[in-house]
Amino acid sequence: MLGVFFWLLLGPSSSHAAPTAAPALAESFEIKRSGGSIVIDGDLSDEGWAQALPIEGWVETNPGDNIAPKVRNQGYLTYDDQYLYAGFYFYDPNPEAIRAPVGDRDNVPSYTDYGGVILDTDNDGRSARMFLANPRGIQYDAISNDASGEDSSPDFFWESQARITEEGWVLELKIPFSSLRYKQADPQTWGIMLYRNWPRDFRYQMFTSRLPRDRSCFICNVKPLHGLTSLPRGGSLVLAPFVSAIGQAFPEGDAGTPLVSDDPEYEPGLDVKWVPNRNLAVDLTINPDFSQVESDVAQISANERFALFFPENRPFFLEGIDLFSTPIRAVYTRTMTAPKWGSRATGRFGKAAYTALIGQDKGGGVSIVPGANSSSLVDQDYDSDVAIFRMRRDLGASAAGLLLTHRDTEIGGRNSVFGPDLLWRPTGSDEITVQYIYSLGKTPIDTELSDAFDGRDLSGHGLRASWHHSNGKHDWYTEYNDFARGFRADNGFVPQVDYRKGYAETGYTFRFQQRFIHRLRIYTFGDYSADRDGRLLTQLFSAGCGMSGRYNSFMRYRYAREEVRAGRETFVRDQFFYTVDFQPGGFLSRVYFYGTAGDEVDFANVRLGRGLTNEFNLTLRPGNATQLELNTNYRFLDIDDAAGERQRLFSAWVARLRGTYFFNARTYFRLIGQRVETERDPLLYNDEVAERSGRFTGSALLAYKLNWQSVVFLGYGDDRELSELNHYERAGRQVFLKLSYAYQR
């Protein structure tokens, strides 16, 4: 039966003919100044394009291995005193198959057509800014760093227009030099790659650089761009004043009693970005408002030992965010829940880049109290002063860095973290990272919040070292962690301390042509962790396979046997993990499954049971202007009662439906409904628990976005809690308005 399964996946497929050899590619590019004006309208017939540098040499890097592309691509580059311009002809034998839905900024998924430019303005082969757009002109921008990966949170000021034609589609980009950071040199030499994403039966990716599969880096493949002269030295200023108004109502008693409205609150604020020169950007925020940031997707916390991580999406924290990415997550800007004000400087001198941030946080979130086998959350109902400094110096393809953070609380706590880190690439196939940091401080003084908040002094080290090797076929990865009992990172996300852990993984990749599956990786890994007294925490062995194929698909299956400690007991659990992700595009844009099944430990009551966790995500596009997203997560755990009968300990689920209608690229209307519910059998718990708990949140938002800082938001929110009578009773209501406009000079 297993053989039939793999034959279906790897057997003959009526796809394209055998690949042809790749064309010769230019080793570098020589850009020239524009000879006339350029209007960004999706038409490359303007006079300014006449002398532009043409780029015809492209290769297909996925699924093919640097072979000739199946479709033709043409790129053009030029510039003037203020802007870099990129133009593209993306030919398509069947323009009706182009996937180009209307969407919000950065909503350009991999199963849609898009293309653009990747700029390494430091020419260090490590980090770059990505400026991509789809055939509707919808923008996607991101920071891509070979050490930390791709992050689409940062937004930049730039323009894009596209047009679908009878031969494919045309794209124009206009990127202000004020949105870039580059060294003081004349002429400039940057690194560059042009890129096209063409999803059809497979996801075809095409670049103007070869991406050798025996290299473990991406940005290191950029090619030199010469000829940029007399670029502006800075001096740009962006002022973004805003005002928000919010009206809230809460029950006069318990949930379900009549709502009582508070007086409306009006909050002015200001965001400032000043770029005095091309090596420095200064950001200032006063009374920042983050109402434009969508609420986090709920995660199931039942039977979780450690705190859950949520990504950062707030604009003030995103300048130079790649600098905060270190092997140990010692900087987690969401620990600043509600800043009163904040200021930061981000820049570079020579081969060193840095960012420094200071601010004051009003609190309102939670603090993590870490441990060896679990962590707990404590309400952060106090003010804090925060300071963070990070510097990284390039050493060819490698880099060395330094991190310092400090936090003072109004209830007596303080925490300082400092130490170096290293990224070393001895070969193109190897990457070694090391970070050692040390913390000093004392806990806050408020035992009503936590027994650990008794003003005790704490200090200790944190160490993480890893080695990754990949030659395109065989790969291996090993990692070692060592965290002292007294280590704390109050400005970071380190939920586990007081442990040592070793991890090792190895895999082998097979690649196929003209098959349903074009890549198959078989792998195995294991780890061992113990607290610093030598007591076992986990011991794991796992083996499985992952594969990529048609319809932009990815599948992974693995078996795991793990010894895990709960309380003073050690349990052995056998589990099966699976991931199935299909992204065919069109009406059925994406179907995603993830799950685990098998033995599960009841950490709250220290016993072994049987459980299931399943996540299901579905994205539908009924038309170019409408998007529907369904996210569900379900978990249950069964245990044996005193009589040996199997009983359901708890069931927990999250359901979130998000619907968006895009009037155009700037205006949309969004509805979100999210329900979180947990059912428990109190008789099976050692401690007292509620039999049922739940919450429903709904929101509606009408948004107009001229750019990412010039916005109008009008929104409504409704919160409901599950009562003892199993009815969802109103727990709150909000109406808000925000107006913001970015003045640029």
**CB-based contact 606:566 (threshold 8 Å):** yes
Give residue for tokens 């002022």: 239
Give the C-alpha separation, 653 to 694, whole Å.
10
Q: Which two tokens stand for residue 723?
A: 């009562």
Strands 59-62 and 259-261: unpaired
* Structural tokens at position 23: 């064309």
Pair 29, 52: CB distance under 8 Å: no
CA angle 44, 49, 52 (to 5 degrees): 125
723: DSSP letter: -
The answer to whether 501 and 528 are in contact (CB under 8 A) is: yes
Q: Strand, helix or coil at 9?
A: helix
**CB burial string 221-240: b at 16+ within 10 A, e below:** bbbebebbeebbebebebbb
Q: In one letter, which amino acid is 401?
A: G
Three-state SS string over 31-83 comes to: CCECCCCCCCCCCCCCHHHCCCEEECCCEEEECCCCECCCCCEEEEEEECCCE
CA gap 78, 683 in Å, rounded: 72
Q: What is the DSSP letter of 278?
A: T
Q: Are 285 and 271 in contact (CB under 8 A)?
A: yes
Please tell me the predicted confidence (pLDDT) of residue 14: 40
- Asked whether 636 and 657 are in contact (CB, 8 A), the reply is no
The strand pairing partners of 187, in sequence order, are none
- Long-range contacts formed by 22-27: CB under 8 A, 24+ apart: 22/59, 22/60, 22/66, 22/67, 22/68, 22/210, 23/56, 23/57, 23/58, 23/59, 23/68, 24/57, 25/57, 25/59, 25/208, 25/209, 25/210, 26/55, 26/57, 26/208, 26/223, 27/223, 27/224
CA distance 339 to 333: 11
pLDDT for res 289:
63
Q: What is the largest CA-CA distance in the chain?
A: 86
Cβ neighbours of 283 (radius 10 Å): 23
The amino acid at 605: N
Q: Which residues are bridge partners to 672 per DSSP? A: 658, 699
Identify the pLDDT of residue 363: 82
Rounded to whole angstroms, the Cα distance separating 272 from 277 reads 15
Q: Model-level pTM?
A: 0.85
Whether domain 2-228 has CATH 3.10.20.30: no
Q: Are 208 and 194 in contact (CB under 8 A)?
A: yes
Predicted local confidence at residue 356, as pLDDT: 94
Round to whole Å and give the CA distance between 238 and 709.
10
| Cβ-based neighbour number of residue 485 at 10 Å | 16
User: Residue 737: exposed, middle, or buried by beta-carbon count in 10 A (0-12, 13-18, 19+)?
Assistant: middle
d(CA 406, CA 626): 46
First to last CA, the chain: 67
| CA–CA distance, 179 with 163 (Å, rounded to integer) | 25
In whole angstroms, give the CA distance from residue 210 to residue 219.
Answer: 11
**Do 498 and 522 form a contact (C-beta atoms < 8 A)?**
no
Classify residue 539 as exposed, middle or buried by CB count within 10 Å of its CB (0-12, 13-18, 19+). middle
Closest CA to 61 of 199, 215, 222, 204: 204
665: left (phi over 0), alpha (psi -120 to 50) or beta: alpha
Contacts of 298 (CB under 8 A, 6+ apart): 633, 654, 656, 674, 676
- Within 8 A by CB and 6+ apart from 185, the residues are none
Residue 596 has a pLDDT of 97
What per-residue confidence (pLDDT) applies to 295?
Answer: 52
**What's the confidence (pLDDT) of residue 313?**
57
CA distance 675 to 721: 10
Contact (CB, 8 A) for 127 and 142: no
| Domain residue spans of the chain | 2-228, 304-497
Residue ranges of the chain whose pLDDT lies below 50? 1-8, 13-17, 291-294, 296-310
Answer for the pair 567, 601: CB distance below 8 angstroms, yes or no.
no
Which tokens sit at 459?
């200090």
* Alpha-carbon span 275 to 263, nearest angstrom: 40
> Of all helices (H) and strands (E), which one includes residue 348?
strand 339-349
d(CA 322, CA 311): 13
| Gap between the Cα atoms of 581 and 615, Å rounded | 11
Whether the CB-CB separation of 571 and 564 falls below 8 Å is answered with: yes
Q: Helix or strand or coil: residue 646?
A: strand
